[in-house]
Amino acid sequence: DGGITQSPKYLFRKEGQNVTLSCEQNLNHDAMYWYRQDPGQGLRLIYYSQIVNDFQKGDIAEGYSVSREKKESFPLTVTSAQKNPTAFYLCASSARLAGGAFQETQYFGPGTRLLVL
Site residues (CB under 8 A) for other proteins?
Answer: 4, 6, 33, 35, 40-45, 48, 50, 58, 88, 90, 92, 100-102, 104-111, 113
Q: How far is CA 46 from CA 22, 92, 97, 107, in A?
A: 15, 12, 23, 16
∠ CA 21-96-54, nearest 5°, is 50
CA distance 1 to 95: 17
Least Å from the CB of residue 6 to other proteins: 8
Q: Which is nearer to other proteins, 82 or 106 (CB)?
A: 106
Q: How far is the CB of 20 from other proteins (least distance, A)?
A: 19
Shortest Å, Cβ 94 to other proteins: 9
Task: Choose between 19 and 91: whose C-beta lies nearer to other proteins.
Answer: 91
Interatomic CA distance for residues 96 and 31, integer angstroms = 7
Cβ atoms of residues 85 and 78 within 8 Å:
yes
Q: Which is nearer to other proteins, 18 or 110 (CB)?
A: 110
